[in-house]
């Protein structure tokens, strides 16, 4: 608990960590202004949703300095890890946003985001929790509000039912699948980018689980 509190406190000191208190809910001052007010460039913006410790955010930001990356998660003590690393490495193209993703519409405006990564989201297997799945029609509708035309969504998961569910949602919502595999590391898609491994992915691989990967465009 002490360590968690220390991380929360350090998050408050990072200029690239945003943890807005929004009661009542309202548009954030950065909505529609991330380029102008924070990144100070016009580079494409990429989100990692449910980023945990932000492995994709930090690794992709290192590989692609000409893009901006924002890791989004509710859990401050996890997100602290990526925030600390990107702060220590003075990475100008990284930010973290500590919010419930249900509220993401208050933070990004039409066409402001160019790409989304959803990395090992909680599968929420009970039917009663379908609305909480980050690839449910409810969430895809939220992303549609700010994802630019042609903007790609990547999903990595160990959870085959969630993978199959997402494929179904895509076909039912008229979205366009670009690529899918239920065994990434034995597929032709395995590459340096898809091979970035998050904390949860390492755990699942140790358990011998296969990794599913899906790339799609909303209503393409």
The enclosing H or E element of 46 equals strand 45-49
Sole window of 8-16, 44-52, 169-177, 206-214 interacting with ligand SAM (rule: CB under 6 A): 44-52
User: Which range binds ligand SAM by CB under 6 A, 20-28, 174-182, 193-201, 209-217?
Assistant: 193-201
**102 near ligand SAM, rule: CB under 6 A:** yes
Tell me 37's DSSP state: I
Using CB under 6 A, which of the segments 9-17, 61-69, 196-204, 208-216 binds ligand SAM? Answer: 196-204
State the minimum distance, in angstroms, from the CB of residue 202 to ligand SAM. Answer: 8
* CA dist 103 → 9, 26, 115, 142, 167 (Å): 23, 9, 18, 9, 24
The reply to whether 158 sits near ligand SAM by the rule CB under 6 A is no
β-pairing, 212-217 vs 176-181, is: antiparallel
Segment interacting with ligand SAM (CB under 6 A) among 89-97, 106-114, 175-183, 195-203: 195-203
Among 30, 45, 47, 51, binds ligand SAM (CB under 6 A): 51
Give the one residue of 10, 62, 122, 130 binding ligand SAM; rule: CB under 6 A: 122
Kindly state the tokens that stand for 30: 């950065």
Report whether 68 contacts 45 (CB < 8 A): yes
- The pair phi, psi for residue 182, each rounded to 5°, is -100, 10
- d(CA 104, CA 21) in angstroms, rounded, equals 13
Q: CB 94 → ligand SAM: shortest distance, Å?
A: 15
The active-site residue out of 27, 122, 182, 183 is 122
CA dihedral 126→127→133→135, nearest 10 degrees, is 140
Answer whether 116's CB lies under 8 Å from 147's CB. yes
Q: Is 136 in the site for ligand SAM (CB under 6 A)?
A: no
Q: Is 27 a catalytic residue?
A: no
CB 54 within 8 A of CB 96: yes
Applying CB under 6 A, among 189, 199, 209, 210 the residue interacting with ligand SAM is 199
- Interface with ligand SAM, residue 130, by CB under 6 A: no
> Rule CB under 6 A: which residues touch ligand SAM?
50-52, 73-75, 78, 100-102, 119-122, 198-201
């Amino acid at each position: 608990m002490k360590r968690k509190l220390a991380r929360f406190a350090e998050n408050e000191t990072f200029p690239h960590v945003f943890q807005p208190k929004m009661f009542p809910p309202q548009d954030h001052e950065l909505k529609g202004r991330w380029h102008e007010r924070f990144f100070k460039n016009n580079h494409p913006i990429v989100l990692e949703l449910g980023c945990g410790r932000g492995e994709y955010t930090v690794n992709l930001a290192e590989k692609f300095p000409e893009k901006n990356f924002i890791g989004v998660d509710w859990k401050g003590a996890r997100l602290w890890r990526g925030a600390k690393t990107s702060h220590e490495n003075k990475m100008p193209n990284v930010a973290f946003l500590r919010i419930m993703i249900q509220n993401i519409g208050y933070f990004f405006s039409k066409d402001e985001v160019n790409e989304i990564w959803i990395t090992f989201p909680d599968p929420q297997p009970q039917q009663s929790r379908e609305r909480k799945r980050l690839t449910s029609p409810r969430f895809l509708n939220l992303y549609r509000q700010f994802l630019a035309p042609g903007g790609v969504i990547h999903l990595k998961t160990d959870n085959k039912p969630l993978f199959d569910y997402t494929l179904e949602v895509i076909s039912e919502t008229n979205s366009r699948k670009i690529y899918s595999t239920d065994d990434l590391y034995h597929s032709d898609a395995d590459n340096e980018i898809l091979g970035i491994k998050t904390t949860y992915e390492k755990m699942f691989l140790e358990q011998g689980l296969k990794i599913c990967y899906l790339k799609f465009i909303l209503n393409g």
